[in-house]
Each structure stands twice: as C-alpha cells, then as structure tokens.
Amino acid sequence: MILDTNIIKRYFKSLILGNLNAAKYKNVRTYCMFIGYGRSGHSIIGALLDAHPNISIGMEEDILNLIKCHFSRNQVFYCITRNTRLFKKKHNNAWTGYSYKVSGQYQGYFKKLEIIGDKKGAASSMRLGDNFELYHKLLKTVKCPVKIIHVIRNPFDNISTMMNRNLGYNSSPDRYQFLYYISKYFLRASVNKELKMKNNMNILDIYHEEFVADPKGILKKILDFLEISGDEDYFQACADIIYSNPNKSKYSINWPKYFIDMVQTEIQHYPFLQRYSYDY
C-alpha cells in the first residue's frame, strides 16, 4: 500500500509521463543495479556509465522502494531518466562534495536507451536482505535481464570514510563508534555474501583500487558485462576525471590494534574481501 505523500505524487506523475515517454524505453534490454556499501565508489562508476550514449543510470533513486510501491516498468524508467536529467541540470553532476562531470559525453540524456538502472548500493543490499522477493518483483517489472555491480573497497578505508563523513574529519572515534561502523559494514558484507551465493543473480565484483589504477580497463570490463561497447573518446573522457590514487582514508583515523585485528578477522569470512589487510 502506498502511503507516503511524496511517493503518491511521484506515482501519479510517473504514471502519466512514463506512458507518454514509453517509446523511448522500447529498446531497453538490460537493467543495471548496484549492491555494496556506503562510501565505496558506486557514485563515480554510476556517473561514468550514465555518460555513455546508450545508458541511463540514476543517482540514488532507490528503485527497489518504487518496486515495493508497485510502480510499473514505464514509471520506473521515467523516474530514472528524470533523475539523471535533474542530476545534470540542478547539481551539475556533483555529489557529496565531488564532481562527476564527464565533459563532452551524455550524462543526463541519451541517444538510444539500451541499458538503464540506478546507483543505490548499500540500501539496495539491505532491501534485498530484508525481502528477497523484491528482486523477483524487479525482474517482473522491468521485463529484461538484471545485471548487478558489486563495488568493493578496502574495508579499513571504507569504514574510515563512513566515520569521517558522519563524525567529522579529524575526529577521534570512541570504541562504541568503532564498533557501530564496523558492525554496519559487515552487516552489508554478510547480506552481499548471501546474494552472491544465489545462482539466479548475475553479479560482477569491481574493486575500487583496481578501478582507480586502470579506469579504462575496468570500465571496459563493466561494459563487457553489460554487453555494450564504447568508443575511445568515451573511455578517455571518463578516465580524465579519475584520481590517480585511491584515497587511503584509514590513515586519517587512529585505528587501535584491537579493532584492526577485529576487522582483519572478519575479512576472512568473505572471499571477496580476503585480498585486503590494513597495510594493503
């Protein structure tokens, strides 16, 4: 049942405009979604995909919530394409203090829409963890294959960034804050581990550090996964906005050895994290 006033307004607006724009969605053949963790690098990858002439990726549209509220295919696709237009027009492709603007490419619009999706990683993981039927409902709604990108970052950097953004930089987290953010991170890791074990989900692991080291190569890997190509101008424009080195956020916080050991022990329970250590 739809109760939220904002959702009700969006429902009826998208019902009308989604149907009016239905012809734009007729060539969509793949839905792309993200799972993962907050502050792990989803935003930059979503923004680069949205720069492709045949891809539209929303910025935090939370499509699974719309699916839960019984939005149709045309409504969902309208909400995503509207989101990308507004992200470009109102925010100039900036998010949480960073610019994701790719010069000369197609952010906010498209030539021929073939792949559509939304960059909502951590929240999508938790929604699916709470109610996996949402995934089946998503498949029925979008009426095309769903491909999932799992963006992974060194847990120590990821957890440190979460603390910095919520507690303030140059803060000194106490033991309870360490425990809270470590638990929050590994709760998402446990959900993602379960999702990866489901045979009916097509999930690609992308490591943030590899992406920063080789943005063209990893972006090509993602496009291959999505079964679409890109030209050299697109790849170069995307690579031009990537920092040359990943941000080692863990060094901005004084990590007590007890919590380093705790995280390192937890890492061993997740095959997709086992490459990482505090010193990695």
The answer to the question of residue 216 being in a domain is yes
The mean pLDDT of 43-48, rounded to a whole number, is 95
pTM above 0.85, yes or no: yes
Given a cut of 60, whether residue 1 has pLDDT beyond it is no
User: Which tens digits make up the pLDDT trace of 156-193?
Assistant: 999 999 999 889 877 789 999 999 999 999 999 999 99
Query: 235 lies in a domain?
Result: yes
Contacts of 114 (CB under 8 A, 6+ apart): 27, 28, 29, 30, 54, 55, 228
With respect to residue 103, please indicate whether it lies within any of the assigned structural domains. yes
98-99/94-95 β-pairing: antiparallel
Please indicate whether residue 77 or residue 169 has the higher confidence score (pLDDT): 77
Distance of alpha carbon 75 from alpha carbon 92, whole angstroms: 24
Q: Check which CATH number belongs to the domain holding 141 and give it.
A: 3.40.50.300
* Lowest model confidence (mean pLDDT) among 30-34, 58-62, 183-187: 58-62
User: What is the count of structural domains for the chain?
Assistant: 1
Distance of CA 133 to the CA centre of its chain: 20
| Residue from 244, 276, 96, 256 nearest 174 by CA | 256
Please indicate, yes or no, if residue 2 is contained in any of the structural domains: no
Q: Which domain holds residue 186?
A: 12-273
pLDDT band at 3 (very low <50, low <70, confident <90, very high): low
Query: Once rounded to an integer, what is the mean pLDDT over residues 259-274?
Result: 97
User: Does residue 279 fall inside a structural domain?
Assistant: no
In a domain, 4, yes or no: no
Question: How does pLDDT run across 46-59, given as a tens digit for each residue?
Answer: 999 999 999 999 99
Q: What is the DSSP letter of 119?
A: E
DSSP secondary structure string, 195-207? HHT-TT-EEEEEE
The answer to whether position 81 is within a domain reads yes
Q: Say if 199 falls within a structural domain.
A: yes
